[in-house]
Amino acid sequence: MAKPFAVSDAEFDEKVLKADKPVLVDFWADWCVPCKMISPIVDELAEELDGKMTFAKVDVDSSPITAVKYGIRSIPALLIFKDGEPVDQIVGAVPKVQLKNKLESVLGS
C-alpha cells in the first residue's frame, strides 16, 4: 500500500531530487484546511500510481528552508519533480481528475 512519505529539509535532496522516478511533493501545514481537503486525493493517487511515481509531503512549518527555496507562498502547493527539477505545480485544493491529468502528462513526457 503506497502512501506519501514525510520529507524534511535535511532529506529533500536525497529523497526527492535524487529519486529515480518522478515525485509529487505536497507542501502543507497542520493548520491548513485546504491541505486537509486535498490530502485524501494525494493518498488515493499514491495508490493508483504506485510504481510509476512517488509521493512526498513537506510540512512547511517544520521544513521552511525547502518551502522558501521553491517559492512556496500559498499552501497546499503540489510540485512535481522529474530528474531532480520541478516540472509542474498546482497551488490550492483541486479536483482529483485535474491533479491526475497533470501527473499523467508528466509521466507521459
Catalytic positions are 32, 35
CA triple 54-107-34, angle to 5 deg:
55
Quickly list H helices, the chain. Answer: 12, 33-48, 64-69, 96-108
Q: Which three cell numbers stand for residue 70?
A: 521553491
- What's the rounded Cα separation, in Å, for the pair 44 and 9? 25
- What's the rounded Cα separation, in Å, for the pair 94 and 77? 10
